[in-house]
Amino acid sequence: MSLRSPLSRVLGLGSAKDGTAHWWAQRVSAVALIPLTLWFLLTLLALPDLGYATVRTWLALPINGFLAVLLVAVLTYHAYLGTTVVIEDYVAAAGTRIVALMLLRFLYVLAGGAAIFAILRVAFGP
Amino acid sequence: MTAPSRPTSPHWQIYRWQIGSSTSILHRVTGVALAVGLVALSFWFVSLAGGEQSYAVASKLFAGPIGLVVLIGWTFAFSFHLLNGVRHLFFDSGRGFERKARHAGGWIALLGALALTLGVWVWLWH
């Protein structure tokens, strides 16, 4: 029994060869996020307080700024992969789906970009 | 291609809630909630880079009643998504599919997330 659809058979199309790419990227980013999120939350909770001076001094340290940029980048990528599937699953109308997927990408680039730019401002700022 | 009219599957409301299906949908719900949290995280970083005044505005927002409820919600969402995500990584390696392990893992993720949420906020309030 062939698992290929009748349409793909009649068109003579083979596999797109990237069937597991999205799935795999989701796992790799998930594994990377385990240490990154735990580092971020535990070090924040370990600070004596969450006041402006304390947090800013903490984030201004090169190692913290670097890890925070990595955290935001991987987190944004992982969230983008996950919520893309949610929209693909639940938004049936083709037009609405395309617009929703496009807006979602814009939103992630905006949120991730703004956060990374802010971290760099703290790292390299006055 | 016209689809033959076959009987359709009963809708999801008809099924009994089970630990497997509950953790599955909760994983997705918490994932979406955490994606929204990414926007809040970005806002927090931007407020920090903006200076003492903007950081004070953000802190006040997060420390307010709505902010606290949302933060507690995100604590649970993160704890569950982390624990259940690790569970999924075990599934991906082909382990834990036996009935006992599957159910135990689901309950550990759910109750563990509740315990972590409670623990973090009791510790923060001490």
How far apart are the C-alpha atoms of A87 and A98, rounded to whole Å?
Answer: 9
Q: What is the pLDDT of residues B71-113, one digit of tens each?
A: 999 999 999 999 999 999 999 999 999 999 999 999 999 999 9
Please classify residue B4 by burial: count the beta carbons closer than 10 Å to its beta carbon, then call 0-12 exposed, 13-18 middle and 19+ buried.
exposed
Q: Which residue segments constitute the domains of chain B, with CATH numbers given?
A: 20-125 (1.20.1300.10)
- B-chain CB neighbours of A69 within 8 Å are none
- B120 interfaces chain A, CB cutoff of 8 Å: yes
Tokens, residue A33: 């996020």
Give the model's pLDDT for residue B25: 94
Task: Tell me what percent of the residues of chain B surpass a pLDDT of 70.
Answer: 98
How far apart are the C-alpha atoms of B120 and B126, rounded to whole Å?
Answer: 10
Q: Which of B2, B25, B29, B38 to mutate to test the interface with A (most CBs of A within 10 A)?
A: B38
- A-chain CB neighbours of B42 within 8 Å are 72, 111-112, 114-115, 118
Domain range annotation of chain A: 20-124
A20-124 folds as: 3 helical TM bundles of succinate and fumarate reductases (1.20.1300)
Q: Do B38 and A50 touch (CB under 8 A)?
A: no
Report residue A1's pLDDT band, with 50, 70 and 90 as the boundaries. Answer: low
